[in-house]
Structure 1
Amino acid sequence: MTAPRIPPLDPEHLAPKVRDLLAALPDAALRTANITTTLARHPELLAASYPFSRMLLYAGTLPDRDRELVILRTAHLAGSAYINAQHVRIGRLAGLTPADIDRTTAGPGADGWSAHEATLLTAADELHHHACVSEATWQRLAQHYGEQQLIEVSILAGHYRMWAAALNSFGVAPDPAPPTAGREATDAAG
């Protein structure tokens, strides 16, 4: 796609309701991110989706590293340049090395993953391709996770698959790299 099908709104053209909604978001990077300014065209959806996305990203029960492995693998499988760009930055903050990030594209069979990490990537693959985690993969995940974390792995992969489909369809371009590497500058991940 050479141009967005649904372009981000110019901040000067935001309706007062949308300006108020964006002003309530916790950081400037998120207020101006392409995902946010595109969703600003549907204020109710933006308002409803933000708390759920934020919960998964910052208040979930999965370790940060595990969460980012699932998101990056899902972004790769779904061909989402937007999610990938955002979560490369967030993944680094979560402790992923550049080699880890590169290896997510190779999948669970790549050398260098722990057995648990390979299982997480396998779960992301199965959810992407079959909309279900196989029994064998589920049992391996259950050796490390409780019920809440098992629920979260499936919801997380599905949530980012949904966003990938939407962002790819809308033609949302990745945001420019933030000038700082701080967590506030990367909150725009969606």
Structure 2
Amino acid sequence: MDEADRILNMDFEVEVDKILKVIPRERRTFLFSATMTKKVQKLQRASLRDPVKVEVSTKYQTVDKLQQSYLFIPVKFKDVYLVHILNEMAGNTFMVFCATCSNTMRTALLLRNLGFNAVPLHGQMSQNKRLGALTKFRAKSRSILISTDVASRGLDIPHVDVVINFDIPTHSKDYIHRVGRTARAGRAGKSITFVSQVP
């Protein structure tokens, strides 16, 4: 199970219990996540015999080839700075993370109206539309993916050059997963986080 901690955080415990009851007792079970939590230990006790834990690090951290930066920006200028960065770094592939579905759509529409190849991805879209957005981004017919945390983990997304946290994530683990979309497999990458006052 990939993103094992997320499965439990999103209250899928009942569904997971049902799955565990119907799959063979003799099996190999692998639980993966970049950020293991105590809830995963609960799942280990419930479903694993003689579990072995393999970890790269004891704390959440980013990779060395990730260049991280932040910008202090008044809320009313966030859109202007986003457009400026996209223009300055044109030619790269971008993932822009927003906190809500409505802000994801608003930002995608704004960028499209300004001539950018942006595509939205959020939890209120149908599965077909989500797959369509991912396909366009993978095929590089769209170079900017505007998304909620639905795309921060668990999806097969190719190399991304720049991750922009348009809205700061609520939890540090979400930050790790977001910026982990770039600087993968030994490659370099950049992340930029917009920091502003509470509106």
Work out whether the TM-score is over 0.5. no
When Rg is computed on C-alpha atoms for both structures, the one with the higher figure is: 2
TM-score (norm 2): 0.27
Greater share of strand: 2
